[in-house]
Amino acid sequence: MSKKTVVTILILLAICVGLALFALWSNQGSEFGGADGAAEEAVMQIDPDYTPWAESLIELPGGETESLLFCLQAGIGALVIGFGFGYLVARKKYSKKDAE
């Protein structure tokens, strides 16, 4: 990688971190709820007597476990996407070498 590419990547990374920090700073005191909680509130507003027709197969011991599983899922997804991009780049690179 050239020095110019590394500098560009670092600048873009700094901009992304800055945007994330600005978003968190500008919304101080707000609560970041998940989609499950918002859906449950919407259902209860529409039909207060609603009873769920399905339950979780496994009761997780706490919120930390849910976060762990979410991070694990995100990590596996990132690995799959990274492998896919790496495969495509390598295939293109080595097919040019074989053609020569």
From 14-18, 45-49, 58-62, 68-72, the region with the lowest mean pLDDT = 58-62
Q: Which residues contact 44 (CB under 8 A, 6 or more apart)?
A: 50
What single letter denotes the amino acid at residue 28?
A: Q
pLDDT tens digits along 18-43: 998 898 788 777 776 677 778 888 99
Q: What is the DSSP letter of 28?
A: T
- pTM for this model (two decimals): 0.46
pLDDT of residue 99: 65
Q: Which residues contact 43 (CB under 8 A, 6 or more apart)?
A: 50
40 class by beta-carbon count within 10 Å (0-12 exposed, 13-18 middle, 19+ buried)? middle
pLDDT tens digits along 86-98: 999 898 888 876 6
| Percent of the chain clearing pLDDT 90 (strictly above) | 39
